[in-house]
Amino acid sequence: MVAAMRSNVRISAPLVRAAVQHAQRRTFSNTRCVRAQWGFIGLGQMGYNMAKNLQAKLPPSDTLRIYDINTESVNQFASEAKASSGGAAVQVASNVHEAAEDSETTITVLPEPSHVKNVFAQILKPPLSTDAVANPDRLFIDCSTIDPASSKEVANAVHATQQGRFVDAPMSGGVVGAKAGTLTFMVGASESLVPRLEPILLMMGKKMLHCGAHGAGLSGKLANNYLLAINNIATAEAMNLGIRWGLDPKVLGNLINISTGKCWPSEVNNPVKGVVDGSPASRDYSGGFGISLMKKDLKLALLAASEAGARLELGDKAREVYEAAEQKEDCKGRDFSVVYRYLGGKE
């Protein structure tokens, strides 16, 4: 049973007044109709903040139906929405099927491929009702970072059962970007869906890159994160090396950042304390991009690379480094730049 969290929430059961709702819903070819229902599944570090931005930017006539297996975060979201003014009404769904039922657009932000497959198996069976939303209009936007093959499997299940359209839209920008609404989305979808996707994603982010057909967003994201994984280790090694040769960390950081070694880990997320103000290294590697997430993305990139027959010389070694670092008590659970500490860098 869906729980209503705002006085302006429509609390009727999904099938009641479905015909009326259908007529009143906003259609994407006719913006004069005002009501729309949205589903949001996965209110973790990223999803919670993304859903907050979405909710705040949607009109009060819209409804956002939320679900997470973590009831604490669902309840917190619902009570924050209740206390705030403006934005879409919020309903708490009791399962993922209910979150997607009647929603024109459902956004998923889940940890790993197994979670995405599992959630979609539950969404699609029993088949979603077509009383409120016609299946061709249903859109599923998966923002989870998973491998393209798993994403394809889920897309095939959605499309084969004709229950909507499924696109991949992984993001970059971290928790800070999710909170600030400045994420970049990398989208894999047919060209025809881009005009519909863009305004939705730009309620949670600043940029949307259409990378190609389904799966292309994930391929782009994994290629980027593969490079990031390697750059991060190489930056930590180079900083450690220079400092041991006697260079001042700030001088070395500045030198790299006006030279050819410059990269995001050297310039923004430098692993040495004091080189970049506000970096995770300056706060004992807390916050930032967790080492386990880097390890996960690297594993997915290696899997996708082997499926594509792409030769990667450094991938396995990098994976070993992250696995070993994560085993260390003083590195575990910290920002991935903690690799510098793992290497024995001076702090």
**Which residues of this chain interact with ligand NAD, rule CB under 6 A?**
41-47, 67-70, 73, 96, 109-111, 115, 118-119, 144-145, 171-172, 174-175, 289, 293
Q: How far is the CB of 113 from ligand NAD (least distance, A)?
A: 9
Q: Give the pair of three-digit tokens for residue 44.
A: 């973790």
Q: How far is the CB of 73 from ligand NAD (least distance, A)?
A: 6
Judged by beta carbon, residue 21 or residue 269, the one nearer ligand NAD is 269
Q: How far is the CB of 176 from ligand NAD (least distance, A)?
A: 8
| Residue 191: count of CB within 10 angstroms of its CB | 9
Enzyme catalytic residues: 221
What distance, in Å, lies between the first and last C-alpha atoms of the chain? 54
Judged by beta carbon, residue 80 or residue 237, the one nearer ligand NAD is 80
Helix (H) or strand (E) holding 4: strand 3-4
Cα torsion for 70, 154, 167, 180, to the nearest 10°?
A: 20
Q: Which residue has its beta carbon closest to ligand NAD?
A: 44
Judged by beta carbon, residue 10 or residue 207, the one nearer ligand NAD is 207
* Ordered DSSP codes for 326-345: HHSTTTTTSBGGGHHHHTT-
Q: How far is the CB of 94 from ligand NAD (least distance, A)?
A: 12
275-305 burial string, b = 16+ CB within 10 Å, else e?
A: bbeebbbeeebeebbbbebbbbbbbbbbbbb
| Residue 17: count of CB within 10 angstroms of its CB | 14
Judged by beta carbon, residue 181 or residue 242, the one nearer ligand NAD is 181
Residue 99 phi, psi (nearest 5)? -65, -35
Q: How far is the CB of 344 from ligand NAD (least distance, A)?
A: 26
d(CA 187, CA 190): 9
Judged by beta carbon, residue 9 or residue 109, the one nearer ligand NAD is 109
Cα 179 off chain centre by: 12
